[in-house]
Structure 1
Amino acid sequence: MNTQTSPSPQFYLTAPAPCPYLAGEAERKVFTHLVGPRATEMNDLLTQGGFRRSQNIAYRPACESCRACVSVRILVDEFQYGRSFRRVENTNSDVVASVFDAHPSTEQFSLFRRYLDARHQMGGMSDMSALDYAIMVEDSHVKTRVIEYRLRAPGDGISARPKGELIAVALSDLMSDGLSMVYSFYAPDMEPRSLGTMMVLDHVRRAKALGLPHVYLGYWVRGSRKMGYKTRFQPQEHLMSQGWTRFNPDEPAEE
C-alpha cells in the first residue's frame, strides 16, 4: 500500500452561510490549504484559476444558485491613467511607500482597527484582535509583503525607515504573473485622498516595474456597492466560463 502523501491539494466545501454582498443569497466556498514547498506554485495556479488567499487557505465561491462573484485582474501594460487617477496621485504626492517582509506591528493594527470600526462594523472581521491581525499577516507560506504608506516627514529618504504618520497598508502576494492584493486598509478620516485607489495605482506601477502583466484585485460583484470601484481600473480581464476575458462594462453580465 502506498503511504506517501499526495502532492495534489485536497479541496473541501463549506456549509452555506449568508452572503456578505447580496441580500437574500447564501454563499459556499471551496478551499484548500497552501502549505509546504509547493505553496507558492499552488498559490499562482489557484489565483490564476479564480481563487483568493486568506492566511494559508486558498478559496473561491462555490454557490449553488449565484455566479455574481467574478475574479478581476488589471492589464498592467495597457492601463489607462485618466484624469481622476492623475488627480489621486497628485493629491498623494506627499506619501512615501515602503515594502517590508510580512510582519505585523502595533501601529498597523491600530490603523486596521480604525478602518474596521469606521467601514466594516458588521463584517466578519469586525471583532478581530491583535493576535488575529498578526496571524492574518504572518500565516503565509507564499511570497507575501507588507507595503506601508506614510505621510512624508523630515528626514525621509535618509533614514532606513520613514517616520511619518501611517495612513494605509497593503498585504500583497508576489506571483509569477503579477501582484495579488490580498487585503488593504487605510485611515478612514482621509477620504478626500482616495487612499484605496492610491494603493491600486501604486500596485500597477510596481507590477510594471517588475515586468509583471497583472494586478489581481480579487472578486467583483455586480450589484454590490462595496465592489463597484474595481471596474474603474481599465482595461481589465474577468474570469468567465471560457477563461480570462477582456471586460466591457457596457456588455450585459454573463448568466
Structure 2
Amino acid sequence: MSELANLKLYATAEHPCSYLKDQQASTIFIDPAANLDVNVYSALSELGFRRSGGHIYRPHCADCAACISVRVPVQAFALTRTHKRCLKRNSDLTITSTAHPNIDEHYALYERYIHARHSDGDMYPPNRQQYIDFLNNPLGCTHYIEMRKQGKLIGCAVSDRLSNGLSAIYTYFCPTQTTRSLGRFAILHQIQKAQNLGLPYLYLGYWIRNCQKMTYKSEYQPFEKLIDRQWVLGAS
C-alpha cells in the first residue's frame, strides 16, 4: 500500500524490558500526526504493529527478537475441554458491547484489577487519565465488551475491529472472580465474535516463548506467528 510507504517512523530510546530480565528494549512507532484510517491500521497489524492509545507501535530491539506477533485463525480454532468448561461457567453473564463506556464504572474496575494483578508492572500505580490515554482510540474502531453479573460490571475486553480481524487490546476484570477465568473467557468470546462477523483473525499481540506472563496465548490453537514478515503456523 502506498499509504504505508509514506508513513514516518520514530524510535524510542532504549529502556529496561518489561518482560525479560536484564534486556534492553526499544520501540518504533508511527508518526502520531499521520492521517491514519482503519484500513491502514489493519495493514499495519498484518506487519506486526499494535495499538496503545493513539500510538501504533512494534518492538524494535537491537539485540533481541523475542517478541513475536501472534494471531488466531478463528475459523480453524478448536475448543478444548478447558475452554468449554470456561464458557459454561460464564454462561450466566450478560455480554454487551459499547463504543462509549461509563468511564467512572470502568475505571473503578480497572483500578482494582491493576492493584491486584499488576502492581509490579508499567501501569502501576493506575490513574484515570492513564486509563483513558491507554485505551482511547481516535480511529473509532474500539469496542468495550462488557461482562455483567446481575447488572454489575465484573469484566471488560477492549477490542478493535479491523478490516481483517479483531485485535484484543486489553482485558481487565474483578480480581476476586478467580474461578471464572475471565481473561480466558474474554479471548474465547472475541474468537466467537470474529467468527460470527466473518473476520479471519483475532490478533493477540506479542508472545515471548520464555515469558511466563505470555504463555496463555499459546493455548488458542492453531495460532500463527509472524516470522520474517511471513505468518506461519506456530507451535508453543
Contact 1:103–1:137, Cα closer than 8 Å, also in 2 = no
In the alignment, structure 1 segments of 5+ residues that lack a partner are: 1-5, 154-163, 250-255
What's the offset of the Cα at 1:129?
1.3
Q: Give the number of aligned pairs.
A: 233
What's 1:156 paired with? none
TM-score, with length taken from structure 2: 0.94
- SS of match in other structure, 1:53: strand
What's the offset of the Cα at 1:104?
4.8
What's 2:131 paired with? 133
Partner Cα distance (1:226, 1:215) in 2 = 19
What's the offset of the Cα at 1:34?
5.5
- Is 1:183–2:167 an aligned residue pair? no
Question: Do the aligned partners of residues 247 and 121 (structure 1) sit closer, same or farther apart at CA in structure 2, a change above 3 Å counting?
Answer: same
Partner Cα distance (1:166, 1:44) in 2 = 30
Question: Once superposed, what is the RMSD of the aligned Cα atoms?
Answer: 1.7
- SS of match in other structure, 2:156: strand
- Is 1:10–2:8 an aligned residue pair? yes
Q: Among 190, 194, 213, which residue is 2:200 paired with?
A: 213
What's 1:201 paired with? 188
What's 1:115 paired with? 113
Partner Cα distance (1:78, 1:238) in 2 = 15
What's the offset of the Cα at 1:16?
0.5
Q: How do 1:24-103 residues align onto structure 2 when only pairs under 5 Å count?
A: 24-33=22-31, 38-103=36-101
Deviations, residues 45-66 of structure 1 (Å, cap 9, x unaligned) = 1111001101111110101111
- Is 1:229–2:227 an aligned residue pair? no
Runs of 4+ in 1 over 6 A off after TM superposition: none
TM-score, with length taken from structure 1: 0.87
- Percent sequence identity is 35
The one-letter code matched in structure 2 to 1:93 is: S
- SS of match in other structure, 2:193: helix
The one-letter code matched in structure 2 to 1:81 is: L
Contact 1:21–1:224, Cα closer than 8 Å, also in 2 = yes
What's 1:143 paired with? 141
In the alignment, structure 2 segments of 5+ residues that lack a partner are: none
Partner Cα distance (1:86, 1:132) in 2 = 35
Contact 2:16–2:25, Cα closer than 8 Å, also in 1 = yes
